[in-house]
Structure 1
Amino acid sequence: MEIQNFYKLLAPRPVVLISTIDGNGNSDAAPYSFIMPVSQNPPLIGFSSVNTRKTLKNIRETKEFVVNIPTEEILPNLWKCAQYSGNERNDKISYANLAAEKSGKVNVPRIKECMAWIECRFFFEKEFNDRVLVVGEVVECEG
């Protein structure tokens, strides 16, 4: 195995939908599997993103995001969110036949069909060669 593929040994990994909005309030959602709890006190969660993703751009603009925990039943919908980059298609949430609903403490909508939600405010980021680690402070969770 090539050393760059080390992460494939860490399988299976959870897959989440991260929802964001841009500066104009347009929503987006994208699946991520490079996600982890970072700290309990303060409550922090992190994920790794390619630098060109709309998710990262939106978080940099609005400083908020929601980690949506899907059920097995909506996995086909989740994969529809992965078919297009947010830069290629607007409103991937409705394209995937999912519904956005108001979150409790952030302006970013959560995905109604998910079983749990973690609302976050941007805490910090760290750039690497091919990825950016984004860490958010958990401000609300439900599930």
Structure 2
Amino acid sequence: MKLNTKDYPKLLVRPVVVITTVSKDGIPNAAPFSFNSPVSFEPPLYGFSCAPGHDTWRNIQDTGEFVVNVAPEEMGNLMKILEEKYPPEVNEIEKAGLTAEASEVVKPPRIKEAVAWIECRLEKAVELGDHVWITGMVVAAGVREGCWDGVIKPESCNPLCHISGEFFAVNMTTKRFERAKKK
């Protein structure tokens, strides 16, 4: 079946993250993103794609910091609240009924209900198409108790994934496996 080239993202199931930032006035902001990925092991870099007019991008430009919060299935119904266009003085973490916790290194808070979190400092940003690809240097990371044994345990933490628009997926039945190494 041939698709319109604009439909290509609908072929990919992507992890949902909630990026938390703070404004230059210290007001927390939280927004969901699914165009995101590790970029490099050494140095440890993470990147995500953001619309140029988004509060998240403005806050990162002003403060140079952000936190990537890996969303579990139970945060799925909150995505509608987190993607609303609230005025910059509104705290989306509170609006969604989530709990802000102090991060280890950066000023933006992490979200207690997240499966894992990655604290970043802005490394570089590049305009690509209709978005800005934001790359951050990872300065700290953590994971919820019971979701880690050397790698993330999807069967224990049920990470939320995005397909397109209102369509999401959960890896509840996904079983991790280790492939045989080449000899």
TM-score when normalising by structure 1: 0.93
For residues 50 and 88 of structure 1, the distance between their equivalents in structure 2, rounded to whole angstroms, comes to 15
Please say if residues 28 and 55 of structure 1, whose CA atoms lie closer than 8 Å, have aligned partners that are also in contact.
yes
Quote how far apart the aligned CAs of 1:2 are: 1.8
1:88 shift after superposition: 6.5
Q: What secondary structure, in the 3-state scheme, does the structure 2 residue paired with 1:25 have?
A: coil
Answer yes or no: is 1:6 the counterpart of 2:8. yes
For 2:86 and 2:71, how far apart are their aligned partners in 1?
19
- Change in 2 beyond 3 A, CA 1:75/1:3: same
Paired position in structure 1 for 2:112: 112
Matched pairs, number: 141
CA distance in 2, matches of 1:105, 1:88: 24
Aligned to 2:53: 52
Percentage identity across paired residues of the two chains = 42
Q: Contact (CA 8 Å) 2:101, 2:111: kept in 1 or not?
A: yes
User: In the aligned structure 1, how far is the partner of 2:14 from the partner of 2:26?
Assistant: 30
Match of 1:23, SS state, is coil
Partner residue of 2:124?
124
Change (3 A) 1:132 1:98: same
| Residue 77 (structure 2) aligns with | 76
Contact 1:31 1:79 in 2 (8 A): no
Q: Following the alignment from structure 2 to structure 1, what is the Cα–Cα distance between the partners of residues 79 and 52?
A: 21
- Residue 153 of structure 2 aligns with which residue? none
Number of the residue aligned with 1:85: 85
Question: What's the CA shift for 1:103?
Answer: 0.3
CA distance in structure 2 between the partners assigned to 1:111 and 1:119 by the alignment = 11
Matched-pair contact (CA < 8 Å) for 2:27–2:89: no
Amino acid at match of 1:4: K
State the Cα distance separating 1:63 from its structure 2 match.
0.2
Deviation per residue, 1:30-71 (Å, 9 max, x gap): 000000010000000000011111000000000000000122
- The secondary structure found in structure 2 opposite 1:79 is helix
- Deviations along 1:117-140, one digit per CA (max 9) or x if unpaired, are 100000000012311000000000
Q: Gapped runs of 5+ residues in structure 2?
A: 144-183
Contact kept, 8 Å, 1:64 with 1:107, in 2: the verdict is yes
- Matched residues in 1 for 2:69 and 2:86: separation? 17
Three-state SS of the structure 1 residue aligned to 2:78 is helix
TM-score computed with the length of structure 2 as normaliser: 0.74
- When Rg is computed on C-alpha atoms for both structures, the one with the higher figure is 2
Structure 2 match to 1:98: 98
Q: Provide runs of 4+ in structure 1 moved above 6 Å.
A: none
